[in-house]
Amino acid sequence: MGTSLMDGAGAAAPRSSFRRFLTAAAISSAGSAVTAVAMPVLVVQLLGATPLEVGVVNAAQFMPYAVLGLFAGVYVDRWRRKPILVWASVGRALALSAVPILWLLGILQIWMLVVVLLCFGAFSVFGYAATQSLLPRLVPRARLVSANARLDQADAAATTLGPAVGGGLVGLLGAPVVIAVDAVSYIVDAVLNAGIEVDEPRAEARARNLRSEIRDGLQFTYRHRTLRPLAVSTHVWFLANGAALTVLSILALRSLGFSAYAFGLLLTVTGVTSLLGASIAHLAGSRIGSGRVVILARVAYPITWLLVALAPATGVGHGLLFAALGLQGLAAGVENSNEMGYWQSLTPDALLGRVNATRRSINRTMTAAGALVAGLSIGLIGDRATLVGVVIVFTVAASITALSPLRETDGNC
C-alpha cells in the first residue's frame, strides 16, 4: 500500500487509490472517445437521421440532468460516494450494451437510441457528481489543480488515440458493434473504482429536508462572489457547445464529406492539443491565476468556431477545420483542471455533491437545449448560419468571465 495523503476534510487516502481512480477514468475516457466517432456515424450515416433527430439524439443523454441533477447532489452528499461511482458505471455499461444488441437484431431505430441514451444519462448524473465530489478525499486540497490536470492528461491521452482507433474500427466492424467497446470500458471502470481505499464517514443519523438541502447547494453556488459569474458563464458555454457539436457532426460528415476515419482523426487532433493544454495547465494557473486561465480559454472558443464557420468545402477548409478543433482542444485542456480545482478548493466537503451536481445539471441541461436548438436551426437556416449564432453565444460566455472578479485571482485557487 502506498503512502497516505491527507484530504481537505482530514481523512487519509493511500496514493494507490488515486492511481486506481486515474486509471479507471482513463479507460472509460478511451471507450467514450471511440463512441464519439461511432455514435455520429451511426446516427447520421447508418440511420439517416434528419438534423432535428441528430439534435434530439445529442440532447438525450443530457436531458436527465434537468430532472435528476439537483436530487443527485443531495444524495451524493448523504451517501458514500464510492459505491455511487461504481454502480453508476455498471448502469452505463448496461445501457450502452443495448445498442449493438438492438442493431444485431435488426430493430434499432432513432427512438430506441434516444431511450438508451436517456438511461445512460440518468446513471451519468449520479456518476459524475460522485466523481467530482470523491476526488477531494483522495488528494489534499492544495493539490486539486494538479490532480485535475493529471485526470485531464489521462483523458486527453485517451481521446488522442480513441477517435483514430474508433474511426478504423467503425470501418472494420461497424458503428453499433464499436459502441460495445465503451460498454466494456465502464465495467473495467467499475471494477477499478471498487478497489479504491478511501475514508468516507457515514451520514449523520438525523432528520433531513430534501428541499432545504437543495437550496443550500443553490445558494452557495449562486451567492458566491466569484463562483456565481463562473457558473453562469459555464452554463452559457455549454449551451453554445451543445449546439456547436451538433453542427460539427452534420457539417463534417455531410457538407464536407468526411469519412468515419477522417472524422476520427479530426477528434484525435482535439485530443492531442487537449493533452498539451492539460500538461501546462498547472503551470499556467500558478503563473497567472486559475481565474485568468479560465478567462483566456473562454476567449479562444468563439475564435475556434468562427474558423469552423468560415471553412470552405475544399482541402483548405478541411485544414482550417483541423486547426480550429486543435485550438478548441488546447483551450479546454488548459482550462478544465484550473476551473475544477477552483470549484473544489472553495467548496466545503459537505456541500461538494450538491454544488457539483447543481452546476453540472444546469450545464448538461443547457447542452441538451443547445443540441435541440441547433438541430432545428440547421433545418431552417443551414449549418453555416447556425454556427454564426454559436460564435455569438460563446462570445457572451467569454464576456461574463472577463467582466467578473475572476480576473483578480492570483496563482492560488
| Domain-wise residue ranges, the chain | 8-198+209-408
Higher pLDDT, 1 or 315: 315
pLDDT at 11: 47
The tens digit of pLDDT for each residue in 168-190 reads 777 777 788 888 888 998 999 89
The tens digit of pLDDT for each residue in 59-84 reads 888 888 877 877 777 777 777 888 88
What is the DSSP code (8-state) at residue 137?
G
| 137-151, 338-352, 394-408: the lowest-pLDDT one | 137-151
Which CATH architecture best describes the domain 8-198+209-408? Up-down Bundle (1.20)
Mean pLDDT for 220-227 is 85
pLDDT at 97: 93
Q: How confident is the model at residue 8 (pLDDT cuts 50, 70, 90)?
A: very low
- What is the spatial distance between Cα 80 and Cα 347, in angstroms, rounded to a whole number? 18
pLDDT at 304: 93
Burial category of 1 from C-beta neighbours within 10 Å (exposed 0-12, middle 13-18, buried 19 and up): exposed
* Mean pLDDT, rounded, of the chain: 82
Mean pLDDT for 103-121 is 91
The highest-confidence range among 131-140, 204-213, 370-379, 392-401, by mean pLDDT, is 392-401
The whole-model pTM stands at 0.69
Q: How confident is the model at residue 347 (pLDDT cuts 50, 70, 90)?
A: confident
pLDDT at 119: 93
pLDDT at 243: 93
| 10-24, 96-110, 129-143: the lowest-pLDDT one | 10-24
pLDDT at 409: 59
402 in Cβ contact with 299 (< 8 Å): yes
Task: Give the cell for residue 380.
Answer: 431552417
pLDDT at 164: 67
What is the DSSP code (8-state) at residue 347?
S
The tens digit of pLDDT for each residue in 283-330 reads 888 888 888 899 999 999 999 999 999 887 777 778 888 999 999 999
Residue 275 predicted with pLDDT over 90? no
29 in Cβ contact with 162 (< 8 Å): yes
pLDDT at 168: 74
Q: What percent of the chain has pLDDT over 70?
A: 91
The tens digit of pLDDT for each residue in 121-164 reads 889 888 877 777 777 777 776 777 777 777 877 777 776 776 66
Q: What percent of the chain has pLDDT over 90?
A: 23
Residue 404 predicted with pLDDT over 70? yes
What contacts 28, CB < 8 A, 6 or more positions away? 89, 182, 185, 186, 188, 189
Give, in order, the Cα–Cα distances in Å from 296 to each of 37, 181, 306, 398.
29, 36, 17, 8
Residue 397 predicted with pLDDT over 90? yes
pLDDT at 3: 38
What backbone torsions phi and psi does residue 407 show, to the nearest 5 degrees? -70, -15
Q: How confident is the model at residue 340 (pLDDT cuts 50, 70, 90)?
A: confident
